Amino acid sequence: MENSVINNWGIDPGYIIFGMAIITLILFITVMISLIKMNQLYRRYDIFMRGKDAETLEGLLINLIEDVNILKIEDKTNKENIRSINRNMRASFQKFGVVRYNAFNGMGGNLSFAIAMLDYTNSGFVLNSVHSREGCYMYFKRVDMGQTEVLLGSEEREALEQALGYVEYSQPKDKK
């Protein structure tokens, strides 16, 4: 065997056999690790699929997708409802101010009052009710963006300022 190819390389055949043995050992270890990982994966898969077949798993996924689609529709409806509520809330009266007072000193007590009712844009009205022995008189004055076209009395102005948040509620007072 002197004319063999291995002899022409100039390498001792023992080294080649030793290198092949090391490569075989590395491959054997790699195969064993792969088998262990595959068994672990199979156990996890078996636990996941236990009691289920492919049809029920597919049905479960379809049900989940349908539930998500229903939730998306409900979410859209809820957002539209919230927008509608916000529009309605801005148009409703949400700021109030009330001042009770005695319009005529010593006559009738604190039965007179001024009330201001404003919406989100500070528009609304001031209602003044003046009580006397002869009767009750009511005055209605429009408010647009916190301003009126007519002159307000001191109680009306105080009620408007309460509604605007400029002053706190005060106890009834006698007019002198």
- Summarize pLDDT for 136-172 with one digit per residue, the tens: 889 999 999 888 888 998 899 999 999 988 876 665 5
- List the beta bridge partners of residue 143: 124
- Summarize pLDDT for 103-149 with one digit per residue, the tens: 877 666 778 899 999 988 889 999 999 888 788 889 999 999 888 88
Residue 16 neighbours by CB under 8 Å, 6+ apart: 6
Domain edge (last residue) among 91, 119, 149: 91
**Residue 46 and residue 68 in one domain:** no
| CB contact at 8 A, 126 and 156 | yes
The distance in angstroms from the start CA to the end CA of the chain is: 137
**Residue 75 and residue 107 in one domain:** no
Global pTM value: 0.53
Cα–Cα dist 87/80, whole Å: 11
Residue type, position 31, single letter: V
Domain containing 43 equals 1-50
Cα–Cα dist 46/38, whole Å: 12
**Residue 124 and residue 154 in one domain:** yes
CB-side exposure of 146: number of CA atoms within 13 Å? 8
How many domains are contained in the chain?
3
**Residue 122 and residue 66 in one domain:** no
- Mean pLDDT (the chain) is 85
**Residue 150 and residue 166 in one domain:** yes
**Residue 75 and residue 106 in one domain:** no
Q: Strands (DSSP E) along the chain, which ranges?
A: 95-102, 112-118, 124-131, 136-143, 173-174
